[in-house]
Structure 1
Amino acid sequence: MGRNTRKRRTPLATKIVAGAAALAVGGGGLVWANFYASAHEEHSGQNRTRSAGAQVATIDCPDVGQRIRDVPDRARGEVDGELASMDSQITDAYQRLATTRRAQEGDAQFVQNSILGPLKDRRKALIDRIQLEINRAGGKADDNLDELAGCQGRPADPQQDGGGQDDGQGDGGQNGDGQDQDDNGNGVAGPVADDFIDINDVQPNSRNSRNGLAADGGSTGTFTTECGVNENNLFNSDNLIAAPGVDNGAHHTHDYVGNQDNDAFSSDDDLANADTSCQNQGDRSTYYWPVLRLQDGTQEFDANDQGGGAEGNVGKILKPAKAELTFVGSRQGDVVAMPKFLRVITGDAKSFTNGDANANTSWSCSGFEDRQVTDKYPLCPEGSQVLRTTNFQSCWDGQNIDSANHRDHMAFVQEDGSCPNGFQAVPQLQVRLAYDIPTPVVENGQVRNPYAVDSFPEQLHKPITDHNDFINVMDEDLMNEVVDCINRGEDCQ
């Protein structure tokens, strides 16, 4: 199923490709190796304490990209490349963490000395290069970026601190019977039983959307664009917005609808002249999100590839039964046209380690839409579909189609529905994906045949890492039609 789209490699892309191949299990994937093992275990008749390092489930690094501001345009490509290199460094370090469990058991300082220490040195070298590139292009780099070089180990439980310590008490990654949680038989890190919740246990109306449909008095119309569910099987592990020119810049596989020329090397001209899967041929916009997979042992086309099984993203790719792409208005007044090639990222692929400040996807089940959750996958009753819903930022700074951290040129509305000072309302994209998924079985702290969103390896397939991306490539006439429809209060498509 599917294909990885590629055009060409540039020297920058070649430099960034993740180096170390992951140790595969079965059809591929990073070795999980009992990340959740208890703090004490029986060995040769004696009860010996495992080292603190063996309790480190993943690697937590400060997100340098979110701290960078005011990068001169002519340095943006180089800076994005260095940031993608940092992601590859973290992936390589995580692979080493996952394949050295025996060494960690015998040496409490192994993780720090052999993984985190060298990683800090490598990250500092890239940070120095980023600062040099910004200054050389006429900007003023943040002199404090060096403080972001160091990373730490952390357990998989997001409620614990990031020190990589575990006293063996509390849940400590064990199930109720004191048995170790395993890797679901896949040899990859997550999801685990605690990542799922019965939809009946989610409180109604407990999650307030950052933005919703326009209220009376604003621009109440809608415009729906029909672009299919990726019937053309367009997949790759690139990220044209965050890592342009970088092969495998996402380290996970994306689903694409709309524009059919999406990879790391696509120029604006490529996008403007591409085919589109949208029924309205004036919409060549790029809509993409990480694929959802059922971890059932299926060997997908990317089972041995970077971004796929070689980086822990395994199992059957689940195509949405339906993908609804709707643009809505503002609660406070009219909207204005989006500029062509406006780029918007919503959600955060690194929310498990970054924190939930930018997390944005709602998970739910059909028939239970009043129950929304961000940090759990829902267990839906028979006949109910799994729903992924994302409401994008809808306030634009009026000047830029992108920004250094790919976020600052866009903003969410304020509590009263108005845009922050200096921003103006544009049509808000809302993406609703519906999936037919057999409900995973969760018993005794174990989950069988789980589904999970593709993620960076160190993010452990947590649902909070879900995200969504959009590049506006509507022609001018269509964008004006969208704006007019919304401002007139009509429902169009």
Structure 2
Amino acid sequence: MGRNTRKRRTPLATKAIAASAALALGGGGLLWANFYASAHESNSGHNYTKSANAQWATLACPDVSQKLTNVPYRARQGVTRELANLDKQVTEAYSRLASTRRAQANDANFVQNAIVGPLKDKRIATLDRIRIDIERVGGKAPDNLSQLAACTPQAANQGQNGQNGGGQNAGGQNGQATASPSAGATAGAGQQQDNGNGAAGPVAADFVDITKVAPNVQGKPDKGNNASTGTFSLNCGVNANENRNTDNLIVAPGVNNGAHHTHDYVGNQDVNAFSSNDTLAKASTTCSEQGDKSAYYWPVLRLQDGTQEKDANQLGGGKEGNVGKILRAESAQITYVGNPTSKVVAMPTFLRIITGDAKAATNGAANANAHWSCTGFEDKVQLTNQYPLCPQGSKVVRTFAFQSCWDGQNIDSANHRTHVAFADPASGACPNGFKAIPQLTQRLVYDVPTPTIANGQVKNPYAVDGFPEELHKAITDHDDFISVMDQNLMNRVVNCINNGQRCK
């Protein structure tokens, strides 16, 4: 691999977010499961669940992938496969935690003996294979790799399920701030419910009336004399042909169901776990600019209204807690923008970027980059930790602003983070050694029936797909991108942005 560049923390990581501090137990992950079954009730045809005597346990598991920042290129295929095994092991452990409530209530040692102990054994074996893969090609595995095996049961704080609009938080990308709820609210503690997904998520505390959140969007950096002020917009559709799968080509190539949740795809039409750069280059595209075969994909948004989707009995779908009606975006705007301090350079072909963190509810906010709002409120309020309840006539908006600084050498990195970085939120400048590239921004608009909240319960919630143990928290929203533009189109994008034009 090329030189290892310094990981630059996102602006979200520079601010104290109460929810993230509570959830990030030693950089690990948390699994939440209700000890007791819920009483499911039907109300006027809507999906509505009332939980009785909810008691919760958590399981803290270190996130191995973020510790592996310097994996030799020849070892990456094997290491990636084993990281996918770790994800699968944790997801399976969560499933057991959620489905053995009666046994847990009857035996205080059940979680340790039947879930935590066997999980540690599996992780030890997997971590050892990772070490062997790295050392086989002359690399050096982290000294503490074996210490990342143990997962620890934790008790959750109860009774904090009230709605919380949160205080202002000056983090967020593109000068956008976030409203942060209390730690207990984000964790989903207190009265919980099962919306048909075998897990408590989302809950009432995961939603906030956007009209009651104080404005929190910060201004953008001032533009300098060498700023690149143009924009280049593309129309790649809204996935009307329902091109979806549960793979993750960037993080888990060659692994079926590597994402454990469903993605919408626009642009490149041949993106799956087994795609290669060659197949991506030869694929068709939904973009009006046929020179753009880039892959744009994000987790689907679902309405948990009891609808049985086609994937209700499949992995990545209902079998892993992703249930309900898949909502198609009304519009999906893709726009490349410039940098306030410098001209931009062309992206390399096959550059891979992930923005946000699908495990942010358990990893903490260091890599989180979720932005939720409503039409008519986007320039005033952006939410990271909660989903918005939009007023009548307003629609839900998901916004993504990708990393816009590139190390100039690598199209990917071992942890899929360190080859790109965010520009400084105050000045707009890239870190030393990084070059400004056209910044990919996406805006997805959805017509979502507004959930209702009564007696601490949410009826017909909507939520983003995710790993089941992440409980469908808003902060886990993320977006993926592989650049596959032909050189002529990329040159047009760069020239348009550097010349201050508005191009479509």
The answer on whether the counterparts of 1:254 and 1:288 sit within 8 Å (CA) in structure 2 is yes
The structure 2 residue matched to 1:482, chosen from 454, 468, 493, is: 493
Question: Secondary structure of 2:62's partner?
Answer: coil
Instruction: Output one character per residue of 1:36-55: Cα deviation in whole Å (capped at 9) or x when no partner.
Output: 99xxxxxxxxxxxx99xx52
Question: Secondary structure of 2:408's partner?
Answer: coil
Percent identity (aligned): 62
The answer on whether the counterparts of 2:34 and 2:200 sit within 8 Å (CA) in structure 1 is yes
Query: Distance between the aligned counterparts of 1:244 and 1:381, measured in 2?
Result: 41
| TM score, norm. by length of structure 1 | 0.84
Instruction: Output one character per residue of 1:373-429: Cα deviation in whole Å (capped at 9) or x when no partner.
Output: 100000001110100001000000000000000000000012311111111100000
Q: Give the aligned partner of residue 452 of structure 1.
A: 463
Q: Give the aligned partner of residue 18 of structure 1.
A: none
Q: Give the aligned partner of residue 223 of structure 2.
A: 215
Matches within 5 A, 1:347-358: 347-358=356-367
The answer on whether the counterparts of 2:197 and 2:322 sit within 8 Å (CA) in structure 1 is no
Residues 105, 34 of structure 1: alpha-carbon distance in 2 compared, 3 angstrom cutoff: closer
Residues 165, 384 of structure 1: alpha-carbon distance in 2 compared, 3 angstrom cutoff: closer
Instruction: Output one character per residue of 1:39-80: Cα deviation in whole Å (capped at 9) or x when no partner.
Output: xxxxxxxxxxx99xx521x53321111110221111111111
Question: Secondary structure of 1:470's partner?
Answer: strand
Q: Which amino acid aligns with 2:393?
A: G
The answer on whether the counterparts of 1:34 and 1:181 sit within 8 Å (CA) in structure 2 is no
Residues 214, 468 of structure 1: alpha-carbon distance in 2 compared, 3 angstrom cutoff: farther
Residues 406, 393 of structure 1: alpha-carbon distance in 2 compared, 3 angstrom cutoff: same
Where does the alignment leave 5 or more consecutive residues of structure 1 unmatched? 1-29, 38-49, 154-162
Superposed displacement of residue 216, structure 1: 5.5
The answer on whether the counterparts of 1:213 and 1:328 sit within 8 Å (CA) in structure 2 is no
Q: Which amino acid aligns with 1:128?
A: D
Q: Give the aligned partner of residue 10 of structure 2.
A: none
Q: Give the aligned partner of residue 323 of structure 1.
A: 332
Q: Give the aligned partner of residue 147 of structure 2.
A: 147
Instruction: Output one character per residue of 1:351-379: Cα deviation in whole Å (capped at 9) or x when no partner.
Output: 01100111101100000111111000000
Q: Give the aligned partner of residue 164 of structure 1.
A: 155
Q: Is structure 2 residue 417 aligned with structure 1 residue 426?
A: no
Instruction: Output one character per residue of 1:133-155: Cα deviation in whole Å (capped at 9) or x when no partner.
Output: 011112111111122212233xx
Instruction: Output one character per residue of 1:265-309: Cα deviation in whole Å (capped at 9) or x when no partner.
Output: 000000000000000000000000000000111111111100000
The answer on whether the counterparts of 1:391 and 1:431 sit within 8 Å (CA) in structure 2 is yes
Q: Give the aligned partner of residue 333 of structure 1.
A: 342
The answer on whether the counterparts of 1:207 and 1:373 sit within 8 Å (CA) in structure 2 is no
The structure 1 residue matched to 2:268, chosen from 252, 259, 268, is: 259
Q: Which amino acid aligns with 2:404?
A: S
Query: Distance between the aligned counterparts of 1:72 and 1:179, measured in 2?
Result: 45
Q: Give the aligned partner of residue 373 of structure 1.
A: 383
Query: Distance between the aligned counterparts of 1:32 and 1:236, measured in 2?
Result: 29
The answer on whether the counterparts of 1:225 and 1:326 sit within 8 Å (CA) in structure 2 is yes
Question: Secondary structure of 1:90's partner?
Answer: helix
Query: Distance between the aligned counterparts of 2:137 and 2:354, measured in 1?
Result: 25
Query: Distance between the aligned counterparts of 1:294 and 1:396, measured in 2?
Result: 37
Q: Which amino acid aligns with 2:390?
A: C
Q: Which amino acid aligns with 1:164?
A: A
The answer on whether the counterparts of 2:294 and 2:485 sit within 8 Å (CA) in structure 1 is yes
Question: Secondary structure of 1:121's partner?
Answer: helix
The answer on whether the counterparts of 2:302 and 2:327 sit within 8 Å (CA) in structure 1 is yes
Query: Distance between the aligned counterparts of 2:209 and 2:148, measured in 1?
Result: 38
Superposed displacement of residue 31, structure 1: 9.0
The answer on whether the counterparts of 1:252 and 1:290 sit within 8 Å (CA) in structure 2 is yes
Where does the alignment leave 5 or more consecutive residues of structure 2 unmatched? 1-31, 40-52, 163-183
Q: Give the aligned partner of residue 436 of structure 1.
A: 447
